[in-house]
């Protein structure tokens, strides 16, 4: 019996989808604990590429149960669209997808609030995905949210949605001069999706507790990454949930004493989408090379991702915050054409050296990375599945990272496909 948590260690898009899909092989259940359809998790299965947003990354294994936990915010239409896409592709999941009856719902007024605020010059632009994530979590914390279980009683649901709608309408129109659909349109849309969602509702906390008691292996899947965590990330340039491993406890109702392992996912370099500080960001041809070789364009919004060198201050922070005992290192192959590979080991600001992550955005925005350099390997590592087959300099780089961040690698990824992986150990 084992409960393992997988969390992103950077600013998201570390390759969690691929890693969770691979580790799911040994799990019985994969459960998403936070975020919403802002996530984009890419998985290759039988030669096809899929991008999952809400559905857990274990869905391509026919015998795995997938749970969407209470900590996730669910846009019912987005979930239905995703389910339909999988169905069209012939992926069967009828009795394998469970949704927490305590999960909060995203409605179109959340998206309108998100987009209006982002496009209004008066407010700080975060560069959100425009999916209504922030406003929906804001309603949850303000105790105004609508939970999945509220879908069961139509009259009560109408009252709840109407009260929220009136408030959002006033704000969107008066403050942002923005557009909002009519109440009837929104409510009818919700009623259309209601039946399918109700059919999947489960008391997932109780379900998971029983499964853990039955000695099943549970993989808790995080979305986004440590630096996007609302408490620990580069606030306010973060998402609105706890993407770090602690989020698995609150987002699934699993007590901390039940968690056996925490694994991180980290890219061999760094990317970020949206606004906010990024100390190792590159604006030169090296940055272009990483974007081109790594196909660094958002899986959800298609936006080009900002690219930079590996940041060990971020990595160590992620190891400590999440309690990571081992990590999956991804996209090593993307560095194949770099003559020199750099790793930032500290930040320098106004003559002071920072080895720990500073909270102050002023420091993060204006600091200079202190770099250690590694010689590149200048040959293809794509698809390498044995550590010994990697070029010597690639092995030196990986061993160097291990020392600098103080964690073992349980997996090294050398391409987007399942078999393009050096597997060192399993999780369970
Ligand atoms: P996630 O959000 O953490 O699941 O990551 P995304 O799916 O948004 O972005 C990761 C991208 O890198 C996807 O396009 C993956 O197919 C791809 N990918 C994952 N691992 C590797 C790897 O080792 N090498 C390369 N070249 N691509 C990878
Ligand atoms: P996965 O799970 C990368 C970023 C957005 C924006 C900030 C807030 O695929 O790693 P939000 O819409 O959440 O309010 O946007 O967070 N962001 C992500 N960046 N990967 C993600 O998910 C992200 N989800 C949100 O770009 O900067
Ligand atoms: Mg992604």
Q: What share of the chain is helix, strand, coil (3-state, %, to 5)?
A: 40, 20, 40
- The rounded distance, in Å, linking the Cα atoms of 4 and 21 is 14
In a domain? residue 138: yes
Pairing of strands 340-349, 408-413: unpaired
- Give the end of a domain, one of 243, 262, 281: 262
In a domain? residue 140: yes
Residues 79 and 121 in one domain: no
Residue 235 backbone class (left: φ over 0; alpha: ψ -120 to 50; beta: rest): beta
Distance 402 CA to ligand 3 centre (A): 24
Domain, as residue range, for 108: 104-197
Residues 231 and 274 in one domain: no
* β-bridge partners, 217: 2
Closest ligand 2 atom number to CA of residue 273: 26
Range 302-329 burial, b when 16+ CB lie within 10 A, else e: eeebbbbbbbbbbbbbbbebbbbbbbbb
Helix pair angle (392-405, 312-322), 10° resolution:
50
Structure-block tokens of residue 249: 């406890």
Any idea what the CATH number is for the domain that residue 26 is in? 3.40.440.10
SS3 state at 202: strand
If one counts the domains in the chain, the total is: 3
- Give the end of a domain, one of 165, 197, 229: 197
pLDDT tens track, the chain, 428 positions: 699 999 999 999 999 999 999 999 999 999 999 999 999 999 999 999 999 999 999 999 999 999 999 999 999 999 999 999 999 999 999 899 999 999 999 999 999 999 999 998 888 999 999 999 999 999 999 999 999 999 999 999 999 999 999 999 999 999 888 889 999 999 999 999 999 999 999 999 999 999 999 999 999 999 999 999 999 999 999 999 999 999 999 999 999 999 999 999 999 999 999 999 999 999 999 999 999 999 999 877 888 999 999 999 999 999 999 999 999 999 999 999 999 999 999 999 999 999 999 999 999 999 999 999 999 999 999 999 999 999 999 999 999 999 999 999 999 999 999 999 999 888 88
pLDDT of residue 301: 82
pLDDT of residue 1: 62
95, burial (CB in 10 Å: exposed 0-12, middle 13-18, buried 19+): exposed
- The rounded distance, in Å, linking the Cα atoms of 123 and 118 is 7
In a domain? residue 355: yes
C-alpha dihedral over 342, 344, 350, 353, to 10 degrees?
-130
Range 380-414 burial, b when 16+ CB lie within 10 A, else e: ebeebeeeeebbebbeebbebbeebbebebbbbbb
229 lines ligand 2 (CB under 6 A): no
Q: Which ligand is nearest to the CA of 228?
A: 2
Closest ligand 2 atom number to CA of residue 12: 10
pLDDT of residue 378: 98
Q: Is-catalytic flag, 13?
A: yes
Q: Closest Cα to residue 229, out of 276, 267, 290?
A: 276
Instruction: Give the Cβ contact number of residue 251 at 10 Å.
Output: 26
* Share of residues in the chain with pLDDT > 90 (%): 94
254 lines ligand 2 (CB under 6 A): no
Any idea what the CATH number is for the domain that residue 170 is in? 1.10.300.10
Distance 301 CA to ligand 2 centre (A): 10
- Give the end of a domain, one of 197, 221, 236: 197
Residues 136 and 215 in one domain: no
Q: Which ligand is nearest to the CA of 35?
A: 2
Residues 82 and 223 in one domain: yes
CA separation (Å) from 410 to 43, 286, 380, 407? 19, 28, 22, 9
Any idea what the CATH number is for the domain that residue 271 is in? 3.90.170.10
Whose C-alpha lies nearest to ligand 2, atom 5? 128
Residues 64 and 44 in one domain: yes
Q: Which ligand is nearest to the CA of 413?
A: 1
End-to-end CA distance of the chain: 8
To test ligand 2's pocket by mutation, which of 118, 239, 240 has the most ligand atoms within 8 angstroms of CB? 239
In a domain? residue 428: no
Half-sphere exposure of 362 (CA within 13 A, CB side): 2
Residue written as tokens 């961040």? Answer: 405
Residues 414 and 343 in one domain: yes
Closest ligand 2 atom number to CA of residue 133: 14
Q: Of 28, 37, 41, 101, which one is the catalytic site residue?
A: 41
Longest Cα separation, the chain: 67
Residues 186 and 311 in one domain: no
Closest ligand 1 atom number to CA of residue 17: 4
**pLDDT single digits (tens) 148-207:** 999 999 999 999 999 999 999 999 999 888 889 999 999 999 999 999 999 999 999 999
- The rounded distance, in Å, linking the Cα atoms of 116 and 179 is 8
To test ligand 2's pocket by mutation, which of 17, 38, 78, 225 has the most ligand atoms within 8 angstroms of CB? 38
Distance 238 CA to ligand 1 centre (A): 20
In a domain? residue 123: yes
In a domain? residue 92: yes
Residues 386 and 405 in one domain: yes
Residues 193 and 116 in one domain: yes
Residues 411 and 395 in one domain: yes
In a domain? residue 182: yes
Whether pTM exceeds 0.75: yes
Closest ligand 2 atom number to CA of residue 13: 10
Whose C-alpha lies nearest to ligand 2, atom 6? 128
Q: Is-catalytic flag, 260?
A: no
pLDDT of residue 179: 84
36 lines ligand 2 (CB under 6 A): no
Whose C-alpha lies nearest to ligand 1, atom 13? 42
Phi/psi of residue 51, each to 5°?
-120, 115
- The rounded distance, in Å, linking the Cα atoms of 112 and 130 is 8
- The rounded distance, in Å, linking the Cα atoms of 215 and 25 is 16
Residues 92 and 183 in one domain: no
20 lines ligand 2 (CB under 6 A): no
SS3 state at 54: coil
**pLDDT single digits (tens) 22-62:** 999 999 999 999 999 999 999 999 999 999 999 999 999 99
Residues 314 and 395 in one domain: yes
**Contact, 109 vs 180, CB < 8 A?**
yes
Q: Which residues line ligand 1 (CB under 6 A)?
A: 8, 12-18, 40-42, 295, 299, 330-331, 333-334, 413-416
Residue written as tokens 């001069």? Answer: 177
Structure-block tokens of residue 175: 């403050």
**Contact, 278 vs 22, CB < 8 A?**
no
């Amino acid at each position: 019996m084992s409960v393992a948590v997988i969390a992103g260690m950077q600013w998201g898009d570390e390759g969690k989808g691929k890693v969770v899909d691979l580790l799911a092989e040994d799990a019985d259940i994969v459960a998403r604990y936070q975020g919403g359809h802002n996530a984009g998790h890419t998985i290759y299965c039988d030669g096809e590429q899929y991008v999952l947003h809400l559905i857990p990354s274990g869905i391509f294994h026919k015998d795995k149960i997938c749970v969407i936990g209470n900590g996730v915010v669910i846009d019912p239409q987005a979930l239905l669209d995703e389910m339909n896409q999988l169905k069209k592709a012939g992926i069967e999941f009828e009795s394998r997808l469970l949704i927490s009856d305590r999960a909060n719902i995203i409605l179109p007024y959340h998206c309108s609030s998100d987009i209006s605020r982002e496009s209004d010059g008066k407010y700080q632009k975060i560069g959100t995905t425009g999916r209504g994530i922030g406003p929906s979590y804001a309603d949850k914390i303000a105790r105004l949210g609508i939970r999945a279980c509220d879908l069961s009683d139509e009259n009560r649901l109408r009252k709840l949605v109407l009260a929220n709608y009136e408030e959002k309408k006033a704000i969107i129109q008066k403050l942002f001069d923005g557009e909002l659909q009519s109440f009837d349109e929104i409510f009818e849309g919700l009623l259309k999706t209601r039946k399918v969602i109700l059919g999947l509702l489960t008391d997932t906390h109780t379900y998971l507790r029983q499964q853990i008691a039955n000695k099943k292996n549970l993989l808790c899947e995080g979305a986004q990454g440590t630096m996007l965590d609302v408490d620990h990330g580069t606030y306010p340039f973060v998402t609105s949930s706890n993407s770090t491993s602690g989020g698995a406890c609150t987002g699934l109702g699993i007590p901390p004493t039940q968690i056996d392992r925490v694994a991180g996912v980290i890219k061999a370099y760094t990317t970020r989408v949206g606004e906010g500080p990024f100390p190792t960001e590159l604006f030169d041809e090296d940055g272009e090379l990483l974007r081109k070789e790594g196909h660094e364009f958002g899986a959800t919004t298609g936006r080009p991702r900002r690219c930079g060198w590996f940041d060990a201050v971020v990595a160590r922070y992620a190891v400590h915050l999440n309690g990571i005992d081992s990590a999956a290192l991804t996209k090593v192959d993307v560095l194949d054409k770099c003559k020199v590979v750099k790793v930032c080991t500290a930040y320098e600001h106004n003559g002071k050296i920072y080895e720990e992550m500073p909270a102050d955005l002023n420091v993060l925005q204006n600091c200079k990375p202190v770099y250690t350099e590694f010689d590149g390997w200048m040959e293809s590592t794509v698809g390498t599945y044995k550590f010994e087959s990697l070029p010597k300099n690639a092995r030196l780089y990986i061993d160097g990272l291990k020392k600098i961040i103080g964690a073992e690698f349980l997996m090294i990824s050398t391409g987007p496909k399942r078999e393009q992986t050096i597997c060192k150990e399993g999780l369970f």
